[in-house]
Amino acid sequence: MMIRSAAGAAWLASLGIPDAAWAMQDGEELVTFTDYTAAFKIEASAANTRVRCYDLRTLTSWATPNDEFYAFHQTVTQHVDPATFRLRVSGFVDKPREFTLDQIKARPDRRDLPVTLECSGNSTRPPRMSGLLSNGVWTGVGLASILKECGLKADAREVVFLGLDMEKEKKSAAGNREFETPHGRSIYLQDALHAEAMLAFSLNGQPLPVEQGFPLRLILPGWYGMTQIKWLGRIHVLDRRYEGQHMTRNYLAVRAVDTAEGPMWLDTSISRTHMKSVVARMTRRRSGSDTDYRITGPAWGGTVPISHVDVQIDGGPWQRSTLEPSRGQYAWRLWSLSVKNLSPGPHTLHSRATDANGTMQPMPDERRQTVASGREDFSIWTREISV
């Protein structure tokens, strides 16, 4: 699969990133996944919410093509004029500021950062098929430098990121009256000051696609996608918690925490990603009397580097895959396994990532012992094929 811009492909090549990872060889063909149904649609919803899935069966490049990058937002896609765009910084700062797009692009701490984005609601159910997932190189500037330049007051506690997209909601605290407010998320001040938190204006060497938040969005490496606010128009610093609907009434998790008395279940927010891998694609190529099969996929997430990915066929022994070199702490790593001569008929496939501490990706029932809610599904996915 080619990046949809020659300039973008050339830019990635300048970073040492090849356009194709698994180019099809002569005589090689795709193996059919029988777990896909008519329920899976790339263009799943046009607005409120906007959902576009990435079809993992097309995964042949480390960087997801910009026009195939997954999209998920609660509102409608915004079309912003870059000439009149302003980023405003307000609240508990000494010097409230506003920045043009050109001023942001000209800042001295401009950087390129490879980051995988995954929606916290990315599921293996038939309508999604783990398609709320993509990977690319983001270009932008540091968030911390802008906050420090504006001067953080001693009482500053949280940083709120507000998009230019608006939402209507009836507020029970105001007698159920309806208000229109910007779509937003907040993070603690210490997270906003993390060295790799950035304001991005480019993806894979090209201006951000409209669906990805043009002209400016937040990128928090290692966090789920709901926090990476698109069409970012305002950063507001608070001395207290921000209680927007997507902080207190959405994107919540029920998770177990260890105590001396045993596990205790708590309602918490969703923030950082978990280690995960999926089987994405399978091909075959006949060679004389043999058939060579190649099973491939990505592995990503978690706070500890991924050590290896193992693959299981039909409940048999786990086999070690070949893991591509890391291209960044927060970007996926592609893996592959070659096998020969599967028997005709249906088969099941699993992939399992393991990190440098020896922690393994869990089976679904194991994952439910630590996270009981539906979001943040990082468990092993059973794939079904027929050969």
Nearest to 297 by CA among 339, 352, 345, 343: 352
**pLDDT above 70 coverage of the chain, percent:** 98
Q: Which residues of 309-319 are buried (b: 16+ CB within 10 A; e: fewer)?
A: bbbbbeeeeee
Nearest to 324 by CA among 135, 192, 108, 129: 135
Rounded Cα gap, residues 370 and 6, in angstroms: 45
Task: Check if the beta carbon of residue 138 is closer than 8 Å to that of residue 115.
Answer: yes
- Which helix (H) or strand (E) segment holds residue 366: the answer is helix 364-367
Task: Check if the beta carbon of residue 235 is closer than 8 Å to that of residue 159.
Answer: yes
Which fold does the domain 66-256 belong to in CATH? Answer: Sulfite Oxidase; Chain A, domain 2 (3.90.420)
Predicted confidence band at 207 (pLDDT cuts at 50, 70, 90)?
A: very high
Q: What is the mean pLDDT of residues 266-288?
A: 96
Give the up-direction half-sphere exposure of residue 64: CA atoms within 13 A in the CB hemisphere: 31
Contacts of 200 (CB under 8 A, 6+ apart): 138, 139, 140, 208, 213, 216, 217, 218, 219
Q: What is the mean pLDDT of residues 82-92?
A: 98
pLDDT for 349 equals 98
DSSP string spanning 162-183? EEEEEEEEEEGGGTTEEEEEEE
The answer, yes or no, to whether residue 8 has pLDDT greater than 80, is no
- Report pTM: 0.94
Q: What is the mean pLDDT of residues 109-115?
A: 97
pLDDT for 5 equals 64
Q: What is the mean pLDDT of residues 64-85?
A: 96
The answer, yes or no, to whether residue 16 has pLDDT greater than 90, is no
Predicted confidence band at 1 (pLDDT cuts at 50, 70, 90)?
A: very low
Domain map of the chain by residue range? Answer: 66-256, 276-386
The answer, yes or no, to whether residue 48 has pLDDT greater than 90, is no
Rounded Cα gap, residues 174 and 235, in angstroms: 25
> Token pair of 258, please?
């260890």
The answer, yes or no, to whether residue 77 has pLDDT greater than 90, is yes
Contacts of 309 (CB under 8 A, 6+ apart): 277, 297, 299, 320, 321, 323, 335, 351, 352, 353, 354
What is the rounded end-to-end Cα distance, in angstroms, of the chain?
A: 24
Q: What is the pLDDT of residues 323-379, one digit of tens each?
A: 999 999 999 999 999 999 999 999 999 999 999 999 999 999 999 999 999 999 999
Describe the chain by its helix, strand, coil percentages, rounded to 5.
15, 40, 45
Nearest to 277 by CA among 251, 253, 295: 295
Q: What is the pLDDT of residues 281-297, one digit of tens each?
A: 999 999 899 999 999 99
User: What is the DSSP code (8-state) at residue 126?
Assistant: T
Task: Check if the beta carbon of residue 302 is closer than 8 Å to that of residue 329.
Answer: no
Average pLDDT, the chain: 95
Predicted confidence band at 152 (pLDDT cuts at 50, 70, 90)?
A: very high
3 state DSSP class of 265: strand
State the CATH architecture for 276-386. Sandwich (2.60)
Rounded Cα gap, residues 107 and 40, in angstroms: 42
Rounded Cα gap, residues 146 and 360, in angstroms: 38
Q: Which residues of 263-276 are buried (b: 16+ CB within 10 A; e: fewer)?
A: eeeeeeebbebbbb
The answer, yes or no, to whether residue 7 has pLDDT greater than 80, is no
The answer, yes or no, to whether residue 100 has pLDDT greater than 80, is yes
Between 193 and 287, whose confidence is greater? 193
Predicted confidence band at 9 (pLDDT cuts at 50, 70, 90)?
A: confident
**What Rg value do the Cα atoms of the chain yield, rounded?**
22
Contacts of 305 (CB under 8 A, 6+ apart): 326, 329, 355, 356
Predicted confidence band at 2 (pLDDT cuts at 50, 70, 90)?
A: very low
Q: What is the pLDDT of residues 236-255, one digit of tens each?
A: 999 999 999 999 999 999 99
Task: Check if the beta carbon of residue 2 is closer than 8 Å to that of residue 9.
Answer: yes
